[in-house]
Structure 1
Amino acid sequence: MPAKTPRLAKHLLEALDARDGLADVTAMPQVVEAEDVEAVIDELCDADRRLPVVLASTPHDVDFDAWLEGTVDPLVRPLVGLAILYVLTPGAESVFNRALEHHRVYNGGIRTYLPGVDPAWPADGQRHRVMSKRLITENPRLAARILNQLPQGIATRLPLPDALDSVPLMRTRARDGVGGSEQERLRDENDALHEILEEAAREQRVRADEIRDLKRELRQAEGNEHVISPRKVVRDESKSVKANGDWSRARTFPVPRHVHPDGKLFMGAHLRIGGGNTIAPRLHYYDGACTDHGIFVGYMGPHLTNTMT
């Protein structure tokens, strides 16, 4: 029986920073622009990745936003938490296909990349399913069913992470022949697990209320205020940027010493402002909200140097 995604998964991914190896696990497909391709390839080849990556391309003759919201979003909705979800802009598609000639995806097709991608091995491309634009547009229900089968099947076979595997099983009734002391132990475990679940539910309700309040504030924002889509948020730079001394220093900005004793921090997280090109402005920031430091904007201006500039 294929795994079904609980509705709670979407709310958790909206409230928490979830990762699978190098990749962010998000509640909606993230937009990949040309500058992001290298980071996505790093994620595809990451040996620690457990989840499949579902990567959508865009037909040449349609509006990108319309395709994303009208076709891709509903198609991958059942995969929330079961796969890493991306959609390539037209500019990113050409860069991606030049870099991965044996693993290409193009013109509205969607490809599912299993863990362990080997870009240099032509035969490896056969492991990663491709779905055509024709099937997606002519029979979207069938396309969704086929697309969802592989990630859902993988989810049923993956071993639990160590943190979850160590949680004792919760039993509602003692097994036959179990002695009184064993029953008491199981009862204690059961009570403790109920407390854990209730606490998690309380925290989730608080986070959900915070998200609803934020969404309400955004909807009520005045007309002269600009709301940036979550798809425009990039949580970190690629490995090649962080490994390059000059590029890394260019993204290191001053902060108060109570935030960091050096008085400066590398700010890989950034917002993409404007169109999908290497000239469009970027806003680099440090999110210290979880440590009561607030959010610090280090830079807003032309795109800083990377492999695409």
Structure 2
Amino acid sequence: MPPAEFTSYYGRPILKAPVWKWDIAAYLFTGGLAAGSSLLAAGGQLTGRPALRRAGRVTALAAIGASAYFLVHDLGRPDRFHHMLRVAKPTSPMSMGTWILTAYGPAAGVAAVAEAAPWLPERGVLGLGRRLLPPAGRAAGLLAAATAPALATYTGVLLADTAVPSWHEAYRQLPALFAGSALASGAGVGLLAAPGDQAGPARRMAVAGAALELWNAHRVETGLGLLSEPYRTGTPGRLLRAARALAVAGAVGALAGRRSRAVSAVSGAALLAASLALRFGVYHAGVASARDPKYTVVPQRERVRRRESRDVRGPGTGGGQGGPRPDFETPGP
């Protein structure tokens, strides 16, 4: 019998595509920006670069505030976020992400508010705040930086933990991809806001973040077999190609702009735009893979054929490290 071609019932999607709108793609960006900015601020704090520290802290607070808005807007009612704090479920990226946001937000807020201490009067109750805010800000800034890696990567774990084919298959790459994007966007803030003599750490952070982002984007676009296709075609492909070009331009500009504030600012803006395009590209690629039934059926049949082939050869003759990764049967978040 010739092998049957894949099909689905009247060509309809097998999976329900994510119902998220643009606000969740924006949430992916602002969460990474907040994480990268907190790491930048901590570096500025520890190396005595006040411009980097100030820019990172203020941007982190603005970005995490925007993240909270986008998340609550998607949930529909603010109390739904509160209800998720009733439990802590380590096996649920959504539950852990809620607690990460809850831990990170107040720390980022205190660190940013501490930047207002020099403008407070020296006497009275506000004078007490002028004395107490700087040490509280230093502690809060380091706490926010300690939480930032989890904030930067948990959204990648969250997407990969769904049944959406092109997200699920990229479970190894998405957390690292989002980490690199977060570092690059945080560096972009430093290149935009800090003078040249204080922007050294931001330049190094820009190169490291862009390299991590570009390498893992390449792995996503080429290393997933058929499921890499949505990352290369249509709207996702255009967005990810733009992200790649902007990341390269931003990294090169960061290195070349040591003596030019204008070049540094342009490279910083390019890194921020690259991170934004990357998050929207990954989002749209997942939606496209859920809508086309071939991205569900063909990989499933390939896995079945591999299992049958191993069964024919007998145990101990293949399968790599632990065999194929089992499919998740749970719907997307």
What is the TM-score when the length of structure 2 is the normalising length? 0.26
Kindly indicate which of the two structures has a greater share of residues assigned to helix.
2
Kindly indicate which of the two structures has a greater share of residues assigned to strand.
1
RCO comparison, higher one (Cα < 8 Å, 6+):
2
What is the TM-score when the length of structure 1 is the normalising length? 0.28
